[in-house]
Structure 1
Amino acid sequence: RNLQIGDVVLAPDIEDSFAPVPVKLVGLLDGENWFAVISKEFVQKHYFPPLEEIVVAAPTPAQQPELDRRLEKALDTRQVRLFTYGQLVRELRSSLKNLYLIMNIVIAIVVLVIAIMMGMLSNIFFMQRLPEFALLAAMGYTRGMLLWRVVRETALLVVVGWTVGVLVSMGVLWGLYLWVFEPRGMLLQPMDWHAYKYTIPVPIAVLLFAAMSVGPRLLTMDPVLVIERKV
């Protein structure tokens, strides 16, 4: 957030700060992990009710599950709110699972709409080039060769469009990260390849829908009638 020493980070008049008194920044820690530290005396003096928080970590990550189990057995959950590593991981995965479910539904709807639109555009494009395909059929091109020609052209357009779209998206995300998110201390990963994998169904669906919409008309086309302008 581009904070400097002495800046007020929490205050009663700052939205979502939940601070009864102004809290100033007195030091900065340099590192990959983001966390804040505040004195225990300050919390006990200004926050009600006073809370006792203890962070316990195992010597190695492999020993953390055993420590979690021992804490769950030793502590009385009626008096202590315990947050174990395994519990936090399960809660996070559950939240992400619901989020991904919603995203998958939205992506499926978007892919379907785009595929239908591209199928309609492919039909219009095919009708405009109908004399060309009829002439090729009259010259000896088989229906399979003509269909492969359509699929090949559509695949080229889809691949080029998808590549340009991904590159433009990366540029926009990097711009948002540098000028919007990072100055506000918000996380954004422009190079998250897991997110880009969600765009792969779009070109595949567009290609299949275009081939399915143009293919039957191409297979039933009568080149003689088309050339004679009777169709």
Structure 2
Amino acid sequence: MNPLSIFNYYTRNKRKALPVLGILTLAVFGISLTLVLTATIFDGVRGFVSPYYQFVVIEPNYNKKYTQLDAGLRADVRQSAHLALVAPVETAYLYGTILGIPTNFPIFGVSDELMPRLLQATETELLAGRLPTVRDDEVAIHESLMKTRGLRIGDHIGSDVNNEDPLDGKFQIVGELGGKTILNLVSLERLSKGRTPPQILLLPKDGEMSALVADLDALETERAVIQTPTYWNRFVERTLNQYDTLVGAINAVIIIVLSLGVGLLNMIYFRQRTGEFGILSGIGFSRSFLMRRVTLEALLLTIVAWILGMLLSVVVYQLLDTLVFGPQGTHLSIFNLRLLTGTLPVPVFVWIFSTLTIMWQLWRLDPVAVIDRRD
């Protein structure tokens, strides 16, 4: 091996390299944990609103004390050329969890005739059982929610069974639904108890959802809440920004403390190598050469640590996803851009701080004094 190779120091001083390598690897793993968990929560939030990207629900603006949709708005909505049908709907909610965080998922009360059309529009399949009917208090639940709650066809849900469930009454699960859209269905008559619901559901013509949304977004009214994808995107963005701000602040503190700690540790190691650098400088090697050498050494260590941290993260999270979370209906969001962009600051800032501290000492190095001390 080249005696001036950047690999020499770490090859000959494994006890000094391994602690730094281990600290950086675990730091990458720790930060990746926050990123994977928040990404999984974000996926859960998107799953919560996924039905509203396939159809639109309009309800009175209860916050403004409106309890019914006015006839003028109903007429304006029907003027869209991209509208396939308008139907009454009532929205209730089911208890669920995302990584243990309580979350209420919508369940839509629609007519028996509309259910097959909603399945087609949302590309949802009936995996088992059948669709609910008006004959009894029945529901069809998405498979992810059934796994999360440990439910099976034939089980009962509702506030009469579980106090945490916001769905009033007692309903039997008769169908299991599957697909990217988390769709839950119940008979409108059974949910509304025969009352005329104040909400309406708008189903677009095939491939014309975007055009329908554009027409609806142009309607301005304070009397109703038009739940288009634009409306839900604002909700999702607010939610994600809150999580991102919190996680970003925590990770920033971790990275700063880590950079200071590793930088000081490298400074101690450098002082133990003063003789090496003093002799190299004394026999003619320039400070720029020594600085380049130190820079490459630090870069090598941080890159290796980042790669090991990422590999450790992927292996651990994949095992957790397969053995723990997957069977419960939740899949960890492992392979995503957030994981890369969120962990990259660890090696970058540690490398910069470590390099600057050592370069500062190299700049002040007096090779003559070093050689005199060795004599």
Bucket of the pairwise TM-score, normalised by the shorter protein: 0.7 to 0.9
Deviation at 1:58, TM superposition (A): 2.7
Supply the distance in 2 between the matched residues of 1:54 and 1:176 (Cα, whole angstroms).
42
Supply the distance in 2 between the matched residues of 1:58 and 1:17 (Cα, whole angstroms).
31
Task: Provide the residue aligned with 2:258 in structure 1.
Answer: 114
Instruction: Indicate yes or no: 2:281 matched with 1:133.
Output: no
Q: 1:43 aligns with which of 172, 177, 191?
A: 191
Instruction: Indicate yes or no: 2:170 matched with 1:22.
Output: yes
Aligned residues: 224
Supply the distance in 2 between the matched residues of 1:104 and 1:140 (Cα, whole angstroms).
46
Supply the distance in 1 between the matched residues of 2:211 and 2:243 (Cα, whole angstroms).
31
Supply the distance in 2 between the matched residues of 1:15 and 1:141 (Cα, whole angstroms).
76
- CA contact 1:68–1:86 (8 Å) conserved in 2: no
Structure 1 letter corresponding to 2:238: S
Task: Provide the residue aligned with 1:4 in structure 2.
Answer: 152
Deviations along 1:74-128, whole A, 9 cap, x unmatched? Answer: xx754x4432221111222232233323332222212111111111111011112
Whichever structure has more helix as a proportion of its residues is 1
Deviation at 1:13, TM superposition (A): 5.2
Uncovered stretches (5+) of structure 1, i.e. residues with no partner? none
- CA contact 1:12–1:18 (8 Å) conserved in 2: no
Deviation at 1:161, TM superposition (A): 0.3
Task: Provide the residue aligned with 2:341 in structure 1.
Answer: 197
Supply the distance in 1 between the matched residues of 2:156 and 2:367 (Cα, whole angstroms).
78
Supply the distance in 2 between the matched residues of 1:148 and 1:182 (Cα, whole angstroms).
48
Task: Provide the residue aligned with 1:221 in structure 2.
Answer: 365
Instruction: Indicate yes or no: 2:304 matched with 1:160.
Output: yes
What secondary structure sits across from 1:140 in the alignment?
Answer: coil
Instruction: Indicate yes or no: 2:293 matched with 1:149.
Output: yes
Instruction: Indicate yes or no: 2:242 matched with 1:94.
Output: no
Cα distance change, pair 52–134 in 1 and its aligned pair in 2 (3 A): same
Q: Which has the higher contact order (CA 8 A, sep 6+)?
A: 2
Supply the distance in 2 between the matched residues of 1:26 and 1:53 (Cα, whole angstroms).
25
What secondary structure sits across from 1:55 in the alignment?
Answer: strand
What secondary structure sits across from 1:25 in the alignment?
Answer: strand
Task: Provide the residue aligned with 1:58 in structure 2.
Answer: 204
Matches within 5 A, 1:64-79: 64-69=212-217, 72-73=219-220, 77-78=222-223
Supply the distance in 2 between the matched residues of 1:25 and 1:53 (Cα, whole angstroms).
24
Uncovered stretches (5+) of structure 2, i.e. residues with no partner? 1-146
- CA contact 1:147–1:218 (8 Å) conserved in 2: yes
- CA contact 1:64–1:85 (8 Å) conserved in 2: no
Supply the distance in 2 between the matched residues of 1:187 and 1:90 (Cα, whole angstroms).
24
Deviations along 1:104-158, whole A, 9 cap, x unmatched? Answer: 2222212111111111111011112221111211221111111111110110010
Supply the distance in 2 between the matched residues of 1:117 and 1:124 (Cα, whole angstroms).
11
What's the C-alpha RMSD, in Å, of the aligned pairs?
Answer: 2.5
Task: Provide the residue aligned with 1:85 in structure 2.
Answer: 229
Task: Provide the residue aligned with 2:49 in structure 1.
Answer: none
Supply the distance in 2 between the matched residues of 1:50 and 1:226 (Cα, whole angstroms).
91
Deviation at 1:50, TM superposition (A): 7.9
Deviation at 1:228, TM superposition (A): 3.2
Supply the distance in 1 between the matched residues of 2:333 and 2:181 (Cα, whole angstroms).
15
Supply the distance in 2 between the matched residues of 1:81 and 1:183 (Cα, whole angstroms).
37
Supply the distance in 1 between the matched residues of 2:160 and 2:314 (Cα, whole angstroms).
38
Supply the distance in 2 between the matched residues of 1:202 and 1:217 (Cα, whole angstroms).
23
Deviation at 1:194, TM superposition (A): 2.6
Supply the distance in 2 between the matched residues of 1:12 and 1:175 (Cα, whole angstroms).
37
Whichever structure has more strand as a proportion of its residues is 2
- CA contact 2:216–2:226 (8 Å) conserved in 1: no
Deviation at 1:187, TM superposition (A): 4.6
